[in-house]
Amino acid sequence: MENKKRIYSAIQPSGTFTIGNYFGAMKNWVALQDEHDCLFCLANMHAITVPQEPAKLRARTYECLAMLMAIGIDPEKSILYVQSQVGAHAELSWILNCTAYMGELSRMTQYKVKSGKQGSTIRVGLFDYPVLMAADILLYQADLVPVGADQKQHVELARDIAERFNTTYSPTFTVPEPFFGTAGRRVMSLQDPTSKMSKSDTNVNGFISMTDAPNVIIKKFKRAVTDSETEVRYDPETKPGISNLMEIYSCATDQSIEAIETEFAGQGYGAFKAAVGEAVAEALKPIQEKYTLLLSDKGELDNIMKKGAAQASRIAYKTLAKAQRKVGFVLPK
């Protein structure tokens, strides 16, 4: 893997993945494995910034691992590991907490949004998790971090913390760059096409789960919100619903938006919605089959977690020791 840039990506195992996660990010991770030195993290430490049912979080961690492998993440090509199994994340996070500023954390957009929903019981972890995210990235001396527009701010914070630490103590961390290459599509809710598709949506008709049965997928697309016209035409401003469906159909079939407009000219929304549902169901079928097979062997998944944690730890603890020495900690002999 020499001469390859290192890429770091993480995803929380806090719910069922949607086609928004898949088409927006995860699908593109597969191709990156051949061109880069990749680490893929199941960020279960980030998941507990909001209340989780322990048994469900454990189960979803296995499900997340199986799904990442089902879409094509290969533990022989990449390092695939569970965040909590590498203690260096928490240890470096504390050191970086002593480098980060309250003001820069309070300006983080996601904190403002999420804390508004928690009222007077805001947890410290929700405020502080961007520092843990910086530790995730900096531990592995990552060159590139694939992000969407809503995560760019977190990479900028990681860069600021790295540069501040490097200036204070001498060069220690690689300063990461946000990676926008092979950008995924921003998949929106089927019921509110002005909002991003989310696995935490209280309306189950708003999202397509990666494990939804074909008949459920087709039914949800038939119920998708569009507009009062009938023309299948791409116009995100005035036709957000139909434009979102066109984006999804493009992701599922690899057709261009122009080709889709031509294919469905004069056919109306009914035929198009049905076609989108069928295309998505077909695209997910082989993934679902592989996922079910992988999830049936927990022992093998445990082995993959153990191997990934060992590989990640070799890199992470080397960086952690360097940072500990720089701040003046006495390391065990």
Catalytic residue IDs: 114, 196, 199
Residue 196 in tokens: 């991003």
Residue 20 in tokens: 């928004």
How far apart (Å, rounded) are the C-alpha atoms in residues 176 and 195? 29
CB of 143 closer than 8 Å to CB of 7: yes
Q: 137: part of which helix (H) or strand (E)?
A: helix 124-139
Residue 93 in tokens: 């996070």
Q: In degrees to the nearest 10, what's the CA dihedral of 15, 20, 25, 29?
A: 80
- CB-based contacts of 175: which residues, under 8 Å, 6+ apart? 159, 162, 163, 166
How far apart (Å, rounded) are the C-alpha atoms in residues 276 and 272? 6
CB of 308 closer than 8 Å to CB of 132: no
- CB-based contacts of 137: which residues, under 8 Å, 6+ apart? 8, 145, 155, 158, 176
How far apart (Å, rounded) are the C-alpha atoms in residues 295 and 128? 33
Residue 48 in tokens: 């507990």
How far apart (Å, rounded) are the C-alpha atoms in residues 6 and 177? 11
Beta strand ranges found along the chain (DSSP E): 6-11, 37-42, 79-82, 144-146, 177-179
Q: Which of 90, 161, 83 is nearest to 125 (CA)?
A: 90
How far apart (Å, rounded) are the C-alpha atoms in residues 75 and 304? 7
How far apart (Å, rounded) are the C-alpha atoms in residues 209 and 194? 19
